[in-house]
Amino acid sequence: MSLQPKKLVPGGLILVLFLLLVACSSNGSTGTSSNKDQGSTPSATAAATITPHLVTPKAAGGSAGKGPLVISSPTPMPGGKAASQQIVLADRTLIIDSASKQKGASTNSTLINLDLAVRNTSDKAIMNQSTFFQLMGPEGDTFGYQYNSPDNFYGPIAAHTTRSGTIMFQVPTAAASSLRLLYRPEIATETAIILLKVS
């Protein structure tokens, strides 16, 4: 199969939507690649640069929903470790003491150790289940496989008590950076996404 030189179209109309969604810019610069081609066919090459046509659409109605709490700039707890974080939710506080990684059982896997505590700040018992805790990788995938956890960690947490321990997630080694904790408890409005500082 032959492949003609490739055109690069920076942004364009498609980017208009991205502008609305994530406020990204569209400077449209071109670059070169140093990667090698895997097949015997030639590498595609950049062939065109087109100035994007930016449109600022008008709002035609509707409203945003209730999204997750997103913490992308973690602030260490006073007196805590550099990776520590405290996430205060309506009926509970999530305390991340540290996040570290170690070699996994296979060559391509890494264990992410998350030292954390769940503090029930309400007057009623809250739930604490393994499926509440997942890691989101840099490519958008979610990893739910927990290799280990304290034997008394999961289960209902009584009012005004705290449950703590280390959850060990197994992830592909290539995905062991820019990880975020997706915490999705029984109350959907308390969903939180927290960038982890993994040491």
Partner 1 sequence: MAVDPNGKVWFTMPVTNAIGMYDPVATTVSQWAVPTAGAGPWGIAIDSGGKIWFTEHYVNQIASFDPGSHTFHEIATPATNSNPYGIRVDASNNVWFTENSDAVALIGEYTARGVLKEYKIRNTSTAGTGLTPHMITIDPNGNVWWSEGWVSAIGMLNVAAAQPGTNIGVTEYFYTPSCSSCGSHTSGISADRQGRIWLDDSLQNTFGSFPIGGGSFSFYNSPSGGHPHDGLNVNSQNRIWYDEEFANKVAEAIQGSSTPTPTPTSSSPTSTPTSTNTPTPTPGSTLGKDTFQRVKQSRWGTASDGQTWGGDANSLSAFSISGNTGLVAKTVGNSYSAVLGPSATDAEVYARGSISSFSESNFGDVLRWTNGNNWYKAYIDGANLIVQKKVNGVTTILASVPFRASAGTSYTIHFRGVGSTLTANAWAASGLEPSGWMVTASDSTFTSGYCGMRFLTQNGTATVTSFQAKWL
> Interaction with partner 1 in 148-167: which residues (CB under 8 A)?
148-155, 164-166
CB of 82 to partner 1, least distance (A): 20
Residues 38-97 that bind partner 1 (CB under 8 A): 38-46, 55-68, 70
Q: Are 164 and 116 in contact (CB under 8 A)?
A: yes
From residue 37, alpha-carbon distances to 4, 47, 111 in Å are 15, 18, 33
Are 133 and 125 in contact by the 8 Å Cβ rule? The answer is no
**Contact flags string 180-199 toward partner 1, x per CB under 8 A:** --x-x---xxxx--------
**Which residue in 51, 75, 131, 199 binds partner 1 (CB under 8 A)?**
131
23 binds partner 1 (CB under 8 A): no
**Rounded Cα gap, residues 196 and 84, in angstroms:** 9
DSSP β-bridge partners for residue 182: 134, 193
Beta strand 69-71 with 192-195 is: parallel
Which of 95, 119, 170, 198 contacts partner 1 by CB under 8 A? 170
Shortest CB 163 distance to partner 1, Å: 10
